[in-house]
Amino acid sequence: MQIDDNAGDSLEDSQSGSLRFSSPQDALDFGRQCVEDGNCFLSTNRFDIVERYRQGEIVIQLNLGANGRDGYYDLLFGEVPC
């Protein structure tokens, strides 16, 4: 696999970089490694959103807007009271 840092040297071409694989197997290996890295991150960083929400460790924020209306609205969901 090669990373092409020179891709996008002109203003018309806005790519900041691209991946090139020398074989289809390289692309599959790269995808597999990304999934493994993601699973490792999730297992080591307690990514159980529901449990963390219940414990008050995270707050969920939704930004909403309505057609024909000016402005946006924020809905905040915090800790679930027991």
Q: What is the pLDDT of residue 13?
A: 52
Q: What is the pLDDT of residue 48?
A: 74
pTM above 0.85, yes or no: no
> Mean pLDDT, 10 residues at a time, over the chain (82 residues)?
51 60 88 87 71 81 85 83 66
Q: Which residues pair with 77 in a beta bridge?
A: 60
**Separation CA 15–CA 8 (nearest Å):** 5
Q: What is the DSSP-derived secondary structure letter of residue 5?
A: T
Q: Which residues pair with 73 in a beta bridge?
A: 64
Q: What is the pLDDT of residue 20?
A: 83
Contacts of 41 (CB under 8 A, 6+ apart): 47
Rg (CA), the chain: 21
Residue reference for tokens 């020398």: 22
